[in-house]
Chains A and B, each alone.
Chain A
C-alpha cells in the first residue's frame, strides 16, 4: 500500500454537514463525523438526540436533506439500503429486521441471493456462514425458524447477515438492550475480533459504561447536533454524561437505608398461561413491604411484564393468590384495573404508549386517565373541565413537566415529559403500593435523575414499591432487595449490597452463584 492511498482511506466513513428534517423536527443539524478505519467508534446521546436517524441516513433508509457521505475517502450518493450494502455498510437495527417465520439461512440469503433459484443460494450461504461463525464465534442454528430462537441468536443472525454481504463498516444500534451482561460481553468479544480483521464498527448506545468498555473513540450527540469527539481512553462517564445532557448530572442517587414496615403486597404461587398456551408465570411468590423498593431484574421477556400486568388486574390470574394491600385477588376474586386502583395500588406501566397514555389526548386528559370516575373530577352530569385543568396545571408545576401547557397533545411532549405525566398521575393519587415498570425507558439522563429521586421519596414516605426494569444500573441503584426472573420463575433474591453485575448476570441466565444460594439457605423466605 502506498502512502498516498493510505492517507486517502484513513477514514472508513466520513460525514460532512449532514442535515435532516422530519417536518418541523430538525433531527440532524450539520453533522460532521470521521470514523477511523479498523476502530470501534461509539456514538452516544440521549433518546431523541438523532443517533438512529443519522445511522439510518448512512444506511440509506432515509435520505439526508444536505451533506456528503464519504466511504473510504470517496463521496457516495446513498439513496437506498441497496447502495449502502454495496458500499460495504452493514447495520444491525435496534428492532431486528428479520422475517420471523423464515430460517436463519433464508434470512441471511434474502436480498443477497446468488441466482434466480434459491437452493443454490442457500447451499452457498450455509458454507460461508459456517466459516464466518467459526471465525467470529457466531454460531446459530441455521435451519430453525427465527421466531423460535432467543434474541441473542437473532442478533447474531443480524450480524451474520451484514458480514455475509461483505460489510466492512458495521453499525450496531443499541445492541445490548436485550442482552444479559454475559451475552453483552460475548458481543463485545465478537466486535473485537471483527476489528482485528479490519472491520470498522460503529456502536450506538446510551449506556456509558459500555462505550468505555468497548470503543476506541466516542462521538457525543445532543439535540440533533454532534457536540464532541473524544478518545475513549481520555474520558470518563461523568464527562460523557455532562456532554450528553449539557449540564452536570448525578449518576448515582443518594439513597438512605430503608425502614421496611408491614407487608403491603404479597404474592403466593402465582401462575399464568397466555392465550398461545405458553406458561408466562410459574409459581411466583414475593412480598413487598411498606417503605422498601423491591427490584425485579431479568432479560426482557422473562415474565416481568406479565407479573406487572397480573398485579395491576389487566391479565386474569390462573392460579395462586395475591394480597393487594389487604384485598385478595385470585381466581375466585378477580379484580379489574379500576378495582385494583381503588385498593390503593398505583401502576406505572412499562410501555407508556401502549398502556399509559393516549397519544392524541391533551395533557389534562392524560392526567385523569384511569381516575376519570373520581368525584373531584365529576359534576352531576358533566366532567368538571375547569377543575381538571386547574389540577393539571398544579401537578405540571410540581413535577416540572415541560412545556407547562395542559392543552398540549400527549404525543407532542418529549419521552421524559410523557413519562413524568404518567408517574405524576399515579403518584399524586397517593397509593399505598406502587407497581413501576421501566420508569426511565426512552427518557433522557436529566429526567432519569429526577424520576429516580421521586421514586426514592415515595419509598421514604412509606410506600411499598415493586420496580421492574431491564436496566441493571437502575435496579441496582434504587432497589433494597433484588429478585431475578428467568422464564417465568423467580431464580433467587439478592440483597442490594451483594448485587454486583456478574452475580445478577449469571442469575438472569438461570445460574445461581453459590454464595447467593448459601444466603438463601440461611434465611428461608
Chain B
C-alpha cells in the first residue's frame, strides 16, 4: 500500500510539474508551426509570472493576476513578432533578447516596487488579510471517498484538488489540436510554417498569420507563467521560470510539433522531475542516487531520443526563415 501511495504522490506531482510545460509547449507549437522559432518562451513565462503575481498582489484577485500575466506575455510575443515578422530579424537572436529583457526587467521593476530583492510579497498573508492565490478545486465527494482503497487514492488524491489551471492545461491540448488541424486558421498557420510563399500567392497575408500565431502563443505562455507564480507558489521570485521555457521547447521537438505527443513528452518530463524530487537521498543497491543525475534526465533523454531513437523529428520547413519576397 505504501508503494501505491508513493506512485499516486509521484503521479500527482507529475501533473503539477507538467502543467506549465504543457501551456508553454502549446504556446511554442503555435509559434513554431507558423514558422517562428520560439526560444523566447522562457522570457514570456517569466514576464507573465511577474505581471501575474504583481497584479494579484495589488488587486487581491488571482483572476486579475491571470489577466495581467496574459497581457504582459502577449505584449512580449507581439514584440517578438515585430522583430521577426515586420523587420525580418533573426528569430533566435530576438528570442534571446526577449529572455534577457524579461529577466532584467522583472528583477529591476520588482525591486523598485516591492524592495524585496526582486521578489513580490507573498500572495497569501494573514497580516494583510490577503489571499490572491488560486484555490485548489476539490471534486464532489472527494473527502468522503478519500479512505476507499485504490479509488480514493486515484480520485481524491490524484484527480481532485488541483488548481484550475492544471485542468485547463489538459483541456487546452485537444482544443489546440482542434484549432490547428480542423480550422481555417490552423490550416493557414501550418501552411505558413511550411511554405510562406505559397501562402502569400494563395492570397493570404503571411504577416497577419504570424502575428496572430504569436498572439495565441502569448496567451498560452501567459497561463504558464501565472501558474508558476500565482498557483504553484504564491510569490514571484527572480528567474523562477528556471529553464521551463527551454524544457517546453524540448518537449515540443520531442513531441514532433503535435499536440498529443507533446503533452506526453511534458508528462514524461514532469514525471522525471517528480521522481527526482522524491528520490532525494534514496538508496538503491546501497548507493545514494545523485539527485543531479535524476534532474538532468529530461535533458539527457531529449538529446538521446532526438538523436535517433524516435526517428527524425521533422520541423516545419520554413521555420526560422524570415519571409522576404524574393526576386524571381
Within the assembled complex, what's the spacing in Å between the Cα atoms of A113 and B191? 13
Contact B188–A110 (Cβ < 8 Å): yes
Within the assembled complex, what's the spacing in Å between the Cα atoms of A158 and B324? 22
In chain A between 91 and 115, which residues have their CB closer than 8 angstroms to a CB of chain B? 91, 93-94, 97-102, 106-107, 109-113, 115
Q: Could you mark each residue 180-221 of chain B with 1 if its beta carbon is under 8 Å from any beta carbon of chain A, else 0?
A: 001111111011001101111111110000000000000000
| B191 proximity list for chain A (CB < 8 A) | 99, 102, 110
Q: Could you mark each residue 300-313 of chain A with 1 if its beta carbon is under 8 Å from any beta carbon of chain B, else 0?
A: 00000000000000
Contact A99–B184 (Cβ < 8 Å): no
Which of B184, B201, B327 is the one whose CB lies under 8 Å from A59? Answer: B201
Q: Could you mark each residue 106-141 of chain B with 1 if its beta carbon is under 8 Å from any beta carbon of chain A, else 0?
A: 000000000000000000000000000000000000
Q: Could you mark each residue 80-92 of chain A with 1 if its beta carbon is under 8 Å from any beta carbon of chain B, else 0?
A: 1110111000010
A118 on the interface (CB 8 Å rule)? yes
A62 on the interface (CB 8 Å rule)? yes
Contact B199–A110 (Cβ < 8 Å): yes
A119 on the interface (CB 8 Å rule)? yes
A176 on the interface (CB 8 Å rule)? no
| B203 proximity list for chain A (CB < 8 A) | 80-82, 84-86, 111
A515 on the interface (CB 8 Å rule)? no
- Closest chain-B Cβ to A116's Cβ sits at a distance in Å of 5
Known A102-B194, A110-B191, A118-B187; judge A97-B202 contact (CB<8 A).
Answer: yes
B171 on the interface (CB 8 Å rule)? no
Q: Which residue of A lies closest to B318 (CB)?
A: A99
Within the assembled complex, what's the spacing in Å between the Cα atoms of A111 and B266? 33
| A97 proximity list for chain B (CB < 8 A) | 195, 197-198, 201-202
Within the assembled complex, what's the spacing in Å between the Cα atoms of A98 and B128? 61
Contact A62–B202 (Cβ < 8 Å): no
A219 on the interface (CB 8 Å rule)? no
- Closest chain-A Cβ to B129's Cβ sits at a distance in Å of 46
Contact A117–B194 (Cβ < 8 Å): no
| A84 proximity list for chain B (CB < 8 A) | 203
B317 on the interface (CB 8 Å rule)? yes
Contact A61–B201 (Cβ < 8 Å): yes
Within the assembled complex, what's the spacing in Å between the Cα atoms of A62 and B201? 11
- Closest chain-A Cβ to B105's Cβ sits at a distance in Å of 37
Within the assembled complex, what's the spacing in Å between the Cα atoms of A117 and B188? 12
A53 on the interface (CB 8 Å rule)? yes
Q: Could you mark each residue 426-451 of chain A with 1 if its beta carbon is under 8 Å from any beta carbon of chain B, else 0?
A: 00000000000000000000000000
Contact A113–B187 (Cβ < 8 Å): yes
> What residues make up the interface of B, taking CB atoms closer than 8 Å to A?
182-188, 190-191, 194-195, 197-205, 317, 325, 327-328
> What residues make up the interface of A, taking CB atoms closer than 8 Å to B?
22, 52-53, 56, 59, 61-62, 80-82, 84-86, 91, 93-94, 97-102, 106-107, 109-113, 115-119, 121, 161
A82-B204, A113-B184 known, 14 other contacts, Cβ within 8 Å: A52-B328, A59-B201, A80-B205, A81-B203, A86-B203, A91-B201, A93-B201, A101-B317, A102-B190, A110-B199, A110-B204, A116-B185, A119-B182, A121-B184
A-B contact pairs, 21 of them (CB 8 A): A56-B328, A61-B325, A80-B205, A81-B201, A82-B203, A84-B203, A85-B203, A86-B203, A97-B197, A97-B198, A99-B190, A99-B194, A99-B195, A110-B187, A110-B199, A110-B202, A111-B199, A116-B183, A116-B185, A118-B187, A161-B202
Q: Please name the 9 residue pairs, one residue from A and one from B, whose CB atoms are nearest each other, closest first.
A: A111-B202, A82-B203, A97-B198, A113-B184, A52-B328, A97-B201, A81-B203, A99-B194, A85-B203
